[in-house]
């Protein structure tokens, strides 16, 4: 068992940990105290250590045999100076010298060893570039510097020991994280992004949850939104993913981590539009992932279904209505009645799909049979509907719908390859009746044809990229072409843009290979127009998914930015004009802005005036909502100790490009005194030092002036605009759970994800540390001089 191995004195690791924990508790309780250093102890290591002695009134303090490291806040057993020199902080110091660049012979030797490692162990070429590996390599270098020529075989442990250490580190991380999350949840200053994922190897359903809460950055002494992986759990095998089961699973995982179901109602969940998840979170505060909404807007705008082409003239609609009456009457008849009329040994059979095309073809092909059946059954309404049909027009409509179905398909989505056949159906012919001409003219005016023109470009670009990849021609281009992938957001834009950037080079390669026909369907001008059309949606999708910053205030302004970007433009060609109108329409139908989005935008100081966004009436409604919220909160809110001391504002930073500058307000002078916090906030000067990526820092410096609003800001500004962090977790989990590692225990997977997501910022690529302590900082981070 981990922790049961005994040292030379017969003490296990777990017993040593318990002893150190007891010493720490006694220091905190006042039973022990710390003094600077032992008398007559002048070793260099004592600069960072304090003696732990028993508290007493006498002049002589009784030594406890323990010391305290001021740098990493650790307690260590004192068995001599050599033991203190081996402490991690002392090792990391390494004579306080800056690390030097490696000499050429050393670089060559390491390069040879690296190449051999990649080849012998079949590792990726980028293995040596990861921060985790660089931290390990730096640790090995410092170990050799401290202890001389060490046999590396004695340094590394076996897989079981590493697994136990991973679990120990993950448990340390959770022990520090869970109380912080529970406190934030109790205060209502936390949000969660939740999603489910089916891993490919064993097709098991996993649920991931990331938490977002305000935290004080120890380096900058400013408040920021911190994101942590909270849990990754396997959904019980054999349980249906119903709303009831999902709700029970979510509540159970929070409760076993110290958060009750009642507390969960204080926090916000951000999920995608999956119906079972929506129903599972009924009664909770839930917001829809904006990135998923944008993805749906793109999908609906860039796809067409076969039914979208079946727009008919009034005459044709009248025929289909009469056909519908007849078919409904036949479907409810008894079988015995229908079997009385059988011609050519054919039984009366209905089509499997009761769509318009099938029903019209059925009535047209069995007109006389149906007439005899309706006559025998005395179905006067249906018989009258049948007789009112013009059989000639019925036959023409049946043939037209059959040809259209052959071109665009019956189910699913219509591809760009259908464009030639659809255009052929739009051509007027001499033999056409006025009825058929009306159908063809109406089809030619269908906006779906413009979508097919864009889809045909996309399909041709996808075929072109596939040709370059499969023929090995990609190396002849200055930059590689990007492949389109259905599951990747904005991959269509990246593919089209990658071809546009190297279009002349692509043409030159194809001319040399005699394959210029592959560019015939990709005119550069139209390709550029499509790229420019898709760019705003791609940029906004990336902005609302930004990491390590506040995104809660972005949905409102991002939505209005897209509305402006996709307003009608006279310079557009006909297909792009129609595509722009489709996307604008989908944007209004799919994206639903909530009160949370408006309140979060109001609590972002740069958006509080809703410049170019809301009307005066809508602004007043938001102000009223905020007033009601702060009146419901405590009149004297409990502020964190860090918020009480307002630090000196940092010097103004260089101005960055701001895509939302048109919606932000500029720095203003302070107005007249006002009555409540909302009015005072509206007149508070923004300040020239305001950073629109650090809204919480602005509130931190004004917490004493706006105590209730600052508390509300910490609650709403920690709600992410998307659930992208959970998607990133699943992306990382895909590297952990692959076909070669499919038998990993779920506990190990959760440990690895916890350490990867929560501790990666603690590993600095060019720092000297021999051991990572959760929540502690090294004695001296010595930067590598490159």
Q: 644 with 704: CB under 8 angstroms?
A: yes
In whole angstroms, give the CA distance from residue 39 to residue 28: 24
Q: What is the DSSP string of 571-590?
A: TS-HHHHHHHHHHHHHHHHH
The tens digit of pLDDT for each residue in 255-268 reads 999 999 999 999 99
Work out the average pLDDT over 665-684.
Answer: 64
- Mean pLDDT throughout 279-285? 92
Q: Which two tokens stand for residue 572?
A: 């557009």
| Among 183, 184, 180, 192, CA closest to 719 | 192
Cα distance between residue 666 and residue 607, in whole Å = 10
Average pLDDT over residues 599-609: 93
More confident residue, 764 or 586: 586
Q: What share of the chain has pLDDT > 90, as a percent?
A: 35
Domain definitions of the chain by residue range: 13-86, 312-339+347-445, 451-552
Helix (H) or strand (E) holding 191: strand 191-198
Confidence of residue 645 (pLDDT cuts 50, 70, 90): very low
Residues in the chain: 786
Give the other-Cβ count within 10 Å of 513's Cβ.
Answer: 13
Q: According to the model, what pLDDT value does residue 586 have?
A: 94
Neighbours of 62 (CB within 10 A): 10
CA dihedral 640, 641, 644, 650 (to 10 degrees): -100
**Which of 75-107 are b and which e, b meaning 16 or more Cβ less than 10 Å from the residue's Cβ?**
bbebeeeeebeebbbbbbbbeeeebeeeeeeee
| Position with higher pLDDT, 125 vs 39 | 125
**DSSP of 301-344:** HS---GGGG----HHHHHHHHHHHHHHHHHHTS-HHHHTT--BT
For the segment 402-460, what is each residue's pLDDT rounded down to a tens digit?
A: 899 888 887 778 888 888 899 999 999 988 999 999 999 999 999 999 999 999 999 99
The DSSP code for 721 is S
pLDDT of residue 44: 66
> pLDDT tens, 347-385?
444 555 567 888 888 888 888 888 888 888 888 898 899
Q: What does the block give as tokens for 726?
A: 């959970």
Residue 268, H or E segment: strand 268-271
Mean per-residue pLDDT of the chain: 81
- State the pLDDT at residue 58: 54
Q: What is the mean pLDDT of residues 456-478?
A: 92
Asked if pLDDT for residue 62 goes beyond 80, the answer is no
* Helix 314-331 with 356-365: angle, nearest 10 deg: 80
The tokens for 80 are 């001599």
Please spell the DSSP secondary structure of 385-442, one letter per residue: HHHHS-HHHHHHHHHHHHHHHHHH-SSS---GGGHHHHHHHHS--TT--HHHHHHHHH
Contact 247/280 with Cβ under 8 angstroms? Answer: yes
pTM of the model: 0.76
Helix (H, G, I), strand (E, B) or coil at 669: coil
Burial degree of 181 (CB within 10 A; 0-12, 13-18, 19+)? buried
Distance CA 629, CA 709 (A): 9
> Is the pLDDT confidence value at 138 over 90?
no
pLDDT of residue 771: 36
Give the pairing of strands 285-288 and 268-271. Answer: parallel
**Facing residues of 206 across strands?**
197, 234
Any idea which of 140-144, 327-331, 596-600, 636-640 has the lowest mean pLDDT? 636-640
- What is the predicted pLDDT for the residue at 149? 83
Phi-psi region of 614 (alpha: psi -120 to 50; beta: other; left: phi over 0): beta
User: Taking the CA atoms of the chain, what radius of gyration do you get in angstroms?
Assistant: 35
Q: From CA 617, how far away is CA 614, in angstroms rounded? A: 8
Provide the Cα torsion 506, 507, 509, 513; round to 10°.
Answer: 130
User: What's the pLDDT tens digit per position in 564-589?
Assistant: 999 998 888 999 999 999 999 999 99
Q: For residue 770, is pLDDT > 60?
A: no
| Token pair listed for 590 | 């799919």
Distance of CA 397 to the CA centre of its chain: 48
Q: What is the pLDDT of residues 328-343, one digit of tens each?
A: 887 777 655 555 544 3
Q: Strand, coil or helix: what is 155?
A: coil
* 192-206, 512-526, 666-680, 744-758: range with lowest mean pLDDT: 666-680
State both tokens at 494: 């990246």
Cα–Cα distance, 685 to 230 (Å, whole number): 38
pLDDT at 145: 79
> What is the C-alpha end-to-end distance of the chain, expressed in Å?
44
């Amino acid at each position: 068992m981990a922790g049961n191995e005994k040292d030379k004195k017969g003490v296990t690791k777990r017993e040593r940990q318990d002893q150190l924990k007891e010493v720490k508790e006694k220091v905190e309780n006042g039973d022990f105290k710390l003094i600077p250093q032992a008398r007559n102890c002048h070793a260099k290591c004592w600069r960072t250590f304090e003696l732990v002695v028993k508290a007493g009134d006498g002049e002589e303090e009784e030594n406890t045999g323990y010391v305290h490291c001021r740098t990493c806040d650790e307690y260590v057993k004192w068995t001599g100076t050599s033991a203190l020199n081996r402490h991690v902080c002392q090792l990391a110091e390494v004579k306080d010298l800056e690390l030097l660049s490696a000499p050429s012979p050393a670089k060559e030797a390491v390069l040879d060893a690296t190449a051999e490692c990649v080849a012998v162990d079949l590792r990726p070429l980028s293995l040596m570039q990861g921060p985790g590996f660089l931290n390990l390599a730096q640790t090995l270098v410092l170990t050799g510097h401290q202890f001389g020529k060490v046999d590396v075989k004695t340094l590394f442990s076996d897989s079981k020991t590493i697994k136990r250490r991973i679990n120990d580190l993950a448990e340390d991380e959770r022990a520090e994280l869970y109380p912080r999350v529970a406190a934030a949840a109790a205060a209502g200053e936390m949000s969660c992004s939740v999603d489910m994922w089916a891993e490919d190897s064993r097709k098991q359903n996993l649920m991931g949850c990331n938490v977002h809460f305000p935290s004080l950055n120890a380096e900058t002494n400013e408040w920021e939104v911190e994101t942590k992986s909270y849990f990754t759990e396997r959904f019980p095998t054999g349980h249906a993913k119903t709303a009831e089961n999902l709700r029970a699973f979510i509540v159970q995982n929070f409760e076993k981590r110290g958060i009750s179901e009642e507390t969960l109602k204080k926090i916000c969940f951000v999920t995608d539009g999956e119906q079972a998840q929506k129903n599972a979170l009924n009664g909770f505060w839930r917001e829809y992932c904006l990135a998923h909404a944008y993805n749906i807007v793109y999908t609906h705008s860039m796809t067409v279904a076969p039914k979208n082409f079946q727009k008919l003239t009034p005459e044709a609609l009248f025929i289909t209505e009469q056909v519908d009456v007849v078919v409904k009457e036949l479907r409810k008849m008894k079988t015995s009645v229908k079997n009385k009329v059988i011609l050519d040994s054919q039984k009366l059979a209905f089509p499997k799909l009761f769509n318009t095309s099938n029903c019209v073809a059925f009535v047209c092909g069995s007109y006389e049979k149906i007439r005899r059946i309706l006559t025998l059954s005395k179905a006067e309404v249906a018989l009258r509907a049948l007789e009112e049909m013009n059989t000639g027009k019925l036959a023409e409509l049946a043939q037209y719908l059959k040809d259209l179905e052959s071109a665009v398909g019956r189910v699913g989505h219509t591809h760009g390859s259908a464009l030639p056949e659809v255009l052929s159906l739009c051509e007027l012919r001499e033999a056409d009746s006025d009825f058929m001409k009306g159908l063809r003219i109406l089809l030619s005016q269908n906006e779906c044809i413009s979508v097919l023109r864009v889809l045909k470009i996309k399909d041709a670009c996808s075929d072109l990229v596939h040709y370059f990849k499969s023929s090995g021609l990609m190396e002849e281009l200055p930059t590689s072409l990007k492949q389109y992938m259905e599951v990747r957001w904005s991959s269509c834009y990246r593919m089209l843009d990658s071809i546009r950037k190297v279009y002349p080079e692509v043409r030159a390669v194809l001319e040399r290979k005699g394959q210029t026909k592959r560019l015939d369907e990709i005119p550069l001008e139209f390709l550029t127009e499509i790229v420019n059309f898709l760019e705003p949606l791609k940029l906004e999708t990336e902005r609302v998914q930004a990491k390590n910053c506040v995104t809660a205030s972005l949905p409102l302004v991002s939505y209005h930015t897209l509305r402006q970007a996709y307003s009608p433009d006279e310079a557009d060609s006909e297909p792009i004009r129609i595509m722009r109108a489709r996307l604008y329409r989908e944007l209004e139908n799919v994206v639903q802005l909530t009160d949370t989005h408006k309140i979060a935008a109001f609590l972002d100081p740069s958006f509080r005036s809703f410049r170019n966004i809301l009307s005066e009436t809508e602004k007043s409604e938001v102000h009223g909502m905020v007033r009601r919220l702060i009146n419901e909160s405590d009149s004297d809110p409990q502020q964190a100790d860090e918020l009480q001391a307002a630090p000196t504002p940092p010097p103004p930073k260089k101005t960055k490009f701001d895509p939302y500058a048109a919606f932000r307000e500029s720095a203003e002078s302070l107005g007249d005194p006002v009555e409540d916090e909302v009015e005072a906030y509206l007149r508070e000067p923004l300040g020239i030092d305001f950073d629109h990526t650090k809204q919480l820092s602005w509130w931190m410096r004004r917490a004493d002036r706006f105590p209730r609003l600052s508390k509300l800001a910490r609650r709403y500004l920690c709600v992410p605009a998307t659930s992208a962090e959970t998607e990133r977790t699943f992306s990382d989990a895909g590297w952990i759970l692959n076909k070669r590692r499919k038998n990993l225990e779920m506990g190990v997977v959760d440990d690895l994800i916890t350490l990867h997501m929560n501790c990666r910022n603690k590993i600095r690529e060019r720092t000297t540390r021999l051991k990572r302590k959760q929540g502690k900082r090294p004695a001296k981070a010595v930067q590598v001089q490159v």
